[in-house]
Amino acid sequence: MTDRRRTLLIFALLYPLGAGAVAINAFFASLIAASVGTRVLTPLEACIAGLLLGVPATYAFACHVTKLIKRADAEDSLGTTEVVETSVEVAAAKGCSASTDCLKV
């Protein structure tokens, strides 16, 4: 699966959550802004704002998740167990036991 296709799939799955989160945040931001004299958004206006502003917010998050997946796949193909074995070997060379205190470098 290409990165673009993976990003769009993640976007499609997360958009309802992203739009809802933006709608709630827009509504609560309008409540806070009401303390300085602005009007409070109605729930319908907040939902419309969530639908519109949820697109770029969710797409940015989907791109971030895709990069994390790509990084995890790259680390997995490099063999992360070798890094752990190297840390244990370093601790053993220092004369430490297998406790986590000795693994601090």
27 alpha-carbon distance from chain centroid: 23
The reported pLDDT for the residue numbered 105 is 46
Q: Is 104's pLDDT higher than 60? A: no
- Greater pLDDT, 87 or 43: 43
Q: How many Å apart are CA 101 and CA 21, to the nearest integer?
A: 41
**38 and 85 Cβ atoms separated by less than 8 Å:** no
Instruction: Report the number of distinct structural domains present in the chain.
Output: 1
**18 and 54 Cβ atoms separated by less than 8 Å:** yes
Q: Is 15's pLDDT higher than 90? A: yes
The reported pLDDT for the residue numbered 28 is 97
Q: How many Å apart are CA 74 and CA 41, to the nearest integer?
A: 45
What confidence tens digit (pLDDT) does each residue in 28-79 have?
999 999 999 999 999 999 999 999 999 999 999 999 999 999 999 888 777 6
DSSP H helices in 34-97: 43-78, 80-93
Termini Cα distance of the chain? 38
Residue range(s) defining the domain that contains residue 98: 3-103
Q: How many Å apart are CA 79 and CA 69, to the nearest integer?
A: 16
Q: Looking at residue 98, what DSSP letter applies?
A: S
**Among 51, 64, 50, 63, CA closest to 8:** 63
